[in-house]
Structure 1
Amino acid sequence: MSNNMKNIEFEKPSYSEWQDAAIKALKGKPFESLLTKTSEGVTLEPLYTQESLVAKLGEELDKQVSTIRSLQNNQAFRVAQQIYADSSEAFFAKLDDSLARGNEVVTIDSRVNFEWTEEVLAQLANYFSEYSFKISVENSNDPLLAVFDKIKVDQRETVKGFIVSKNPITLNDFPSVRSIGADTTVYHNEGANAVQELAYALALAAKYANQEESFEAFAKKFYVSFAVDTQFFTEIAKLRAFKVLWKAFSSAYGVTENVKIPTVAETSLRSFSKLDVYVNLLRAANEALSGLIGGADVFTVHPHDALTKPTDQSIRIARNVSLILKEETSVLKVTDPAGGSYFIESLTADFVKEAWALFIEIEAAGGIDAYTASGKLTEELEKSYLARIKAAQTRKQSLIGTNIYANPADVLESETNPQFAEVKRVAVPFEQLRMEMTAANVKTGILALGTLKSSKPRADFVSGFLNTVGLVPEKSEPVATAEEALAWLNATEATYVVITGNDDDTKELVPAILAGKPANVIVDVAGKFRDEEEAWLANGLNGFIFAGQNIIEKLNSVFASMKEVQR
């Protein structure tokens, strides 16, 4: 019998057969409901097959895969752990410890709490002579740049590293230091999606290439920098797509051979929250794995408390995220581990197509500077940012510990790391409203109707809704009559109460509750009651709470009403 089982072959269903089965399982819902539109405007299919990929890309598929593999650097995913310290003494002590424990790239943001004195720079120069580095500076006058004057002339040719700056830094005598960067993290932190980041990277490359004496001279100094967000497959495809786009870009300059350009990447801080900060660790690990699979060459994992003030423990954990992924996943043993995935290859191709089209549009407008000056770039970023904010506030995008499964007992840290204060994080509106609600000592309640079983689903939903801004509602025992409900409303300290029950109990009891409720208590109903809405609102109901609602808009409105009542 076992031999027969080994020889059994199952017939491979076709896409149309799978589609028929899916439509049957949807029970009347359209097949299109399985399609997902991303923030980049790309439509994700519910199923990807070899046949559909070949039909979509044809011969381009082999070109895409071979291009990505040929442009991958040998030394991938080097650990670039940023050093945080309040004094120069602590800085060098932490730098030594970091390098001894697996850090491979000396990573510094020049905005520190101590001065870059001659002595400090001379000491730092010794590290730059021995290790590769990634430094972030404000501009060409940044005091940290004086470190290069301290490096001995005979050592300058071998010094390797990256200078991250808004504009390229001119550095003579250091042929292996890449100082022209297409830093897309700036746009990422303003809300850019993957396609925009890729297009802006190319537009910056075009701008800088035209400023250099030759494309070859430019390419030796150039690198691209990305922030990697929590959309796992999107970010893998983004990093892979850049290699395909770079090949097309360099071909436009008449370059036929493969010119490898390093990809410097870091975990996204726009996805971080000051609430339930250990979730940031999960986000960072997810993002780092995307970076590893996607082919980043240098990677920085920001500590989970980077938004406030990183500790020795959080820095160590962040560094170990990279080390564990490198050592335990075996991803680096494979060139382009995502290559051949029907979904990722399709997504990569979509990003290439869309990003190249946007890049051409930017060039037609006169280049990245003219495009920015016209206001078009800012308009695009604002649109992407607002869409992302709306997705978080309506829970279409989950921000665990912030917009869902929030812990109201969390203490919101008031301290802010100035390095990351300007990042447009989607968690900020939740943090701000929680701070205001906590300061105002807002009292809320849930009035349950009917039985525990019938009222609990909506009561739990409302409780979670209020928890997102730190509110812990007082919950009534389920009441069966309007008299019991009014007795509870008159006894509670809550100035904002949400009525929760099934549809029948709510329709039966709400009119009488509204007729007798205390004037100083704002009352909402959980659920959508379109037929009763007009009458209830006319009789004193404040509004409704329901799934898909904008949490921040709703609770801001409630907070404003509470202030009015208190006056």
Structure 2
Amino acid sequence: MTLNKMINETFEAYTLETWEKKSEESLKGKSIASLSKNTYENILLKPLYSKEDLKINSTGQFPGQTDFRRGADPAGYLSSPWKVAQRIDAENGEELRKKLHASFERGQTAISFHLDKDIVKDFVKIIDGIYATFAFGIEAGNDQAEVLEKLSDLADCDKVSGYIGRDLLQIASNDGLKQEYDKWSEMIQLFDRKMPNLRTILVDTSVYHKAGANAIQELAAALSTGVQHIQELLERGMSLEKILSKMVFKFSIGANFFMEMAKLRAARILWSKIAEAYGAKSEEQKMVISAETSPFTKTAYDPYVNLLRAGNEAFAGVLGGVQFLHVSPFNEPEGKTTHFSDRIARNTQLILKEEAHLKNIVDPAGGSWYVENLTNELAEKAWGLFLKIEEKDGMASVLKTGWIQEQIAEVMKKRNEDLFMRKQSMIGTNIYANLNDHPLQNVMESLEANHALPNNRLSEPFEKLRRAAQRLVQSGSEPKAGLICIGELKKHKARADFMTGFLAPGGIKADASENIDHPKSALQFIQESNLHHYVLCGTDKQYDELALELVHSIKENYPDVRLYLAGLPEESKQAALQQAGIEQFIHAKSNCYEILTSLLSEMEAEVNE
């Protein structure tokens, strides 16, 4: 082939139908549809997306243009980088002041920390020298009025920016909302005169996220809460322009990378639509987003995996177009972080910004048929749920009646089912658990948030099992189950390894036998190990040849021993094995959590402590 011919050579153009045909050939009889996957949002994710999947033309829009799916700023982070808003913890005001100043020297770009009684008392001292230079990113709760009053008395308070926000629906009781909105409206307008660039109205969806909500529920809650704030404040004399200029939306970013990115893009579309319906100008329709990596996805066991989880979530948040970002330190579930964990969390953002150069790009997901389709589907479904909430008299009403809690609880139930069945993997928790792992200490238990919305971490059920097992170890009774390994290693290894991994999430150690090829060697292993639970591990053929003989012999000599079998024999063979003494068949579709709970209970572990 000549050079000229090589330059002009082109690849053959293939149709979607041709691709599907070739793919189905490689799937050996399965259809392309078998590769599709449903999400907790009831959105079907396909293996391939094309131009035809877009119901509306969303690929020709530029950033900074209505509906703002591609971001609020035409130049993206080039002109307005996201704020590194790591929430800083400290024992007292002086320690916090030192930590804040040190953080700003190391890449922090927003003033962000937790408020408590002592911190509020020392607030002025803490922010001295930085309040007019750096933007705030604080969720103030019931301390908002006191903090704003202290801030408004300072020189150059008109230069204060960012947000010190409060979401009234997450704090006030429903019965007192009218009076709370009266006071809140007066406060917002009062401090706006001195600090016009500071946002004070927070729409906090993180409480729904931590209760287990899916992306559609989070978006609908954001819209309905935002609309309620607008309506209440309009009725109290505030202008639409002023209300919108004071609002900031908080989202937690979960583990589903593309879904979370699309969630933020859909949020901007929907809020633009609502603001436009109220008569807002294009510039006023822009949404300011503060995000945090999800506390819901973090684990107490194998906590360094939290570093990877937070990095993935932070990446999705940045590509989704946040303005403020907090990356959770890997030991945040303890409620107290360290210098090391704080530094690594902050550096995660700096790597994304400086090494991955995400500060130099503008909506890289824009135009992706997959991301655009996902964005559109989320927006459409969230809008439908928002309308349903409004039909029920709005967010305050559905919180009071418990309707929204019931909807979220259904999703959380499904999440738990998938975790228990190991359809959903959590490394170090329900899969690849390390029995020698040292968990985070003094992990905070879930608390009931306002309106009985639970503050969950997905891994907690398995962590309770691990703690129960640890209490057994401390009492001198290590939780173990024996593996009766039939035949040579290459035949029993797969199922023995499976059982070792299956037991570990409950803190139960697998004690494997030598090669077992006769009932006598099995009886000897049981006598030497002196355990109460044993699992037969071998191939289906070995089960056919030896399992019944083994079970009969073991039950005859050790009637109190509980026997299990790794794998799922054909239905026609199950009855005989069960009649002989097999308690349960443990296989890939077994409920891992239920079986481990039962085993630990039989080992006299207090699982529910």
SS at the partner of 2:266?
helix
One-letter code of the match for 2:328?
A: H
Task: Work out whether 1:521 is the aligned partner of 2:561.
Answer: yes
Q: Select which of 40, 48, 55 maps to 1:57.
A: 55
Alpha-carbon distance, 1:62 to partner: 3.6
Report the Cα distance in structure 2 between the residues aligned to 1:427 and 1:134, rounded to whole angstroms: 28
Please say if residues 93 and 126 of structure 2, whose CA atoms lie closer than 8 Å, have aligned partners that are also in contact: no
What does residue 265 of structure 2 align with?
240
- TM-score, normalised by the number of residues in structure 1: 0.93
Please say if residues 446 and 457 of structure 2, whose CA atoms lie closer than 8 Å, have aligned partners that are also in contact: no
Task: Work out whether 1:10 is the aligned partner of 2:35.
Answer: no
What is the number of equivalent residue pairs in this alignment? 557
Q: Select which of 255, 264, 267 maps to 2:280.
A: 255
Alpha-carbon distance, 1:128 to partner: 2.4
Alpha-carbon distance, 1:174 to partner: 2.2
What does residue 310 of structure 2 align with?
284
SS at the partner of 2:333?
coil
Distance 1:454 1:70, change over 3 A: closer
Task: Work out whether 1:225 is the aligned partner of 2:250.
Answer: yes
Report the Cα distance in structure 2 between the residues aligned to 1:395 and 1:414, rounded to whole angstroms: 25
Please say if residues 81 and 359 of structure 2, whose CA atoms lie closer than 8 Å, have aligned partners that are also in contact: yes
Report the Cα distance in structure 1 between the residues aligned to 2:135 and 2:232, rounded to whole angstroms: 26
Cα distance per residue 1:109-146 (max 9 Å; x no partner): 114xx72364553443543233211122332xx28833
Please say if residues 141 and 166 of structure 2, whose CA atoms lie closer than 8 Å, have aligned partners that are also in contact: yes
Q: Select which of 532, 547, 551 maps to 2:592.
A: 551
- Percent identical among aligned pairs is 33
What does residue 112 of structure 2 align with?
107
Cα distance per residue 1:488-510 (max 9 Å; x no partner): 12221322211100001123222
Task: Work out whether 1:483 is the aligned partner of 2:520.
Answer: yes
Please say if residues 93 and 122 of structure 2, whose CA atoms lie closer than 8 Å, have aligned partners that are also in contact: no
Give matches, 1:415-434, under 5 Å.
415-417=442-444, 423-434=455-466
Q: Which range moves more in the overlay, 73-82 or 144-153?
A: 144-153
Report the Cα distance in structure 1 between the residues aligned to 2:144 and 2:387, rounded to whole angstroms: 37
What does residue 431 of structure 2 align with?
404
Q: Which range moves more in the overlay, 154-163 or 143-152?
A: 143-152
Report the Cα distance in structure 2 between the residues aligned to 1:232 and 1:108, rounded to whole angstroms: 27
Please say if residues 144 and 164 of structure 2, whose CA atoms lie closer than 8 Å, have aligned partners that are also in contact: no
Distance 1:121 1:186, change over 3 A: same
One-letter code of the match for 1:175?
A: P
Give matches, 1:501-516, under 5 Å.
501-516=538-553
SS at the partner of 1:233?
helix
Task: Work out whether 1:314 is the aligned partner of 2:341.
Answer: yes
One-letter code of the match for 1:525?
A: L
What does residue 23 of structure 2 align with?
22
Please say if residues 79 and 322 of structure 1, whose CA atoms lie closer than 8 Å, have aligned partners that are also in contact: yes
Task: Work out whether 1:300 is the aligned partner of 2:326.
Answer: yes
What does residue 195 of structure 1 align with?
216
Cα distance per residue 1:67-116 (max 9 Å; x no partner): 323623642321001111123222111111111111001111114xx723
SS at the partner of 1:108?
coil
Cα distance per residue 1:5-36 (max 9 Å; x no partner): 33211112111111111122221223321111
Structure 2, unmatched stretches of 5+, are 170-183, 449-453, 473-477
- TM-score, normalised by the number of residues in structure 2: 0.87
Please say if residues 121 and 147 of structure 1, whose CA atoms lie closer than 8 Å, have aligned partners that are also in contact: no
Report the Cα distance in structure 1 between the residues aligned to 2:134 and 2:45, rounded to whole angstroms: 43
Report the Cα distance in structure 2 between the residues aligned to 1:255 and 1:489, rounded to whole angstroms: 76
What does residue 179 of structure 2 align with?
none
SS at the partner of 2:164?
strand
Report the Cα distance in structure 2 between the residues aligned to 1:279 and 1:478, rounded to whole angstroms: 36
Task: Work out whether 1:182 is the aligned partner of 2:198.
Answer: no
Please say if residues 519 and 550 of structure 2, whose CA atoms lie closer than 8 Å, have aligned partners that are also in contact: yes
Report the Cα distance in structure 1 between the residues aligned to 2:40 and 2:128, rounded to whole angstroms: 44
Please say if residues 362 and 368 of structure 1, whose CA atoms lie closer than 8 Å, have aligned partners that are also in contact: yes
Cα distance per residue 1:33-84 (max 9 Å; x no partner): 111111101111110123x23xx32445545975323623642321001111
Cα distance per residue 1:293-330 (max 9 Å; x no partner): 11011100010011113110110000000011001122
Please say if residues 270 and 426 of structure 1, whose CA atoms lie closer than 8 Å, have aligned partners that are also in contact: yes
Cα distance per residue 1:325-363 (max 9 Å; x no partner): 001122222221110111101100111101111111111
Give matches, 1:120-199, under 5 Å.
120-124=123-127, 126-139=129-142, 142=143, 145-146=146-147, 148-152=149-153, 154-167=155-168, 170-171=187-188, 172=191, 173-199=194-220
Give matches, 1:83-94, under 5 Å.
83-94=88-99
What does residue 209 of structure 1 align with?
230
Q: Which range moves more in the overlay, 265-274 or 206-215?
A: 206-215
Task: Work out whether 1:348 is the aligned partner of 2:353.
Answer: no
What does residue 572 of structure 2 align with?
531
Distance 1:144 1:405, change over 3 A: farther
Alpha-carbon distance, 1:4 to partner: 2.5
SS at the partner of 2:136?
strand
Q: Select which of 76, 89, 111 maps to 2:81.
A: 76
Cα RMSD after superposing both structures = 2.2
Please say if residues 190 and 382 of structure 1, whose CA atoms lie closer than 8 Å, have aligned partners that are also in contact: yes
SS at the partner of 1:450?
coil
Distance 1:118 1:526, change over 3 A: closer
Distance 1:402 1:371, change over 3 A: same
Please say if residues 79 and 319 of structure 1, whose CA atoms lie closer than 8 Å, have aligned partners that are also in contact: yes
Q: Select which of 538, 541, 550 maps to 2:582.
A: 541
Please say if residues 434 and 468 of structure 1, whose CA atoms lie closer than 8 Å, have aligned partners that are also in contact: yes
Please say if residues 272 and 280 of structure 1, whose CA atoms lie closer than 8 Å, have aligned partners that are also in contact: yes
User: Runs (4+) of structure 1 moved beyond 4 Å?
Assistant: 63-66, 117-120, 417-422
Please say if residues 164 and 183 of structure 1, whose CA atoms lie closer than 8 Å, have aligned partners that are also in contact: no
SS at the partner of 1:128?
coil
